[in-house]
Amino acid sequence: MNNVGISYEYAMYLEELPEDRLQTIIHLNCEVTAMVTKLCVPGMVERKRGAVVSISSAAGVMACGDPLYDLYSASKGFVDLFSRSLATELKEKGIVVECHVPYFVPTKLSKIRRSSLFCPRPEVFAESSLRKIGRGPITVVPYFWHEVQHIAFHLLPFWLLQKCILIHHKDIRRRALKKREKWDVC
């Protein structure tokens, strides 16, 4: 299972993204995912079975992308398209390739502390993910309530989804900057 990822410190415009963070996001989210997969595939091909399960993010499959997290969104989109292409390539060799897509899960990366119906504990998401391996399409939203969100978001008109996500991320940005300002004063 490829579960690597790094995002932004907080929601920010692309021109504000530090160069080292930009390079790290591309390196970890894209290059490392591809390299680890390349290392594992030959053994699976030899055994004529196996599964490559990569973890993307809702940010990588949202119709409007993930404004103020553009590069993270694009890097997770890479994981999805890489998985789709690889699935076609390896299907005839008996290898299942899937891209599992979480929405929010309380982790250090998401900076969410509490779980809820739409934000399951990591072990709940992992159990859902394991139950879905080999049972669905290439891109899988394995946790039921995330799938409900996914369907709902894709039913919204593009302009409305775009506006709602941008407003939400601008609020995250505002709170993060306020918190940073508070720490700078201290």
- CA nearest to 108, candidates 98, 123, 122, 95: 122
Cα three-residue angle 62-64-67, rounded to 5 degrees? 100
Tokens of 145: 């309530």
Q: Is 117 helix (H, G, I), strand (E, B) or coil?
A: coil
Q: Given the DSSP bridges, would you call strands 50-55 and 139-140 parallel, antiparallel or unpaired?
A: unpaired
What stretch of H or E contains 76?
helix 70-91
Q: Based on the residue annotation, tell me whether 72 is a catalytic residue of this protein.
A: yes
Instruction: Evaluate whether 54 touches 98 at the Cβ level (below 8 Å).
Output: yes
Q: How far apart are CA 101 and CA 80, in angstroms?
A: 9
Chain centroid to CA 73: how far?
7
What strand order describes the sheet that includes 95-100?
50-55, 95-100, 139-140
Instruction: Evaluate whether 75 touches 30 at the Cβ level (below 8 Å).
Output: yes
Catalytic position from the list 8, 10, 72, 143: 72
Annotated catalytic residues are 72
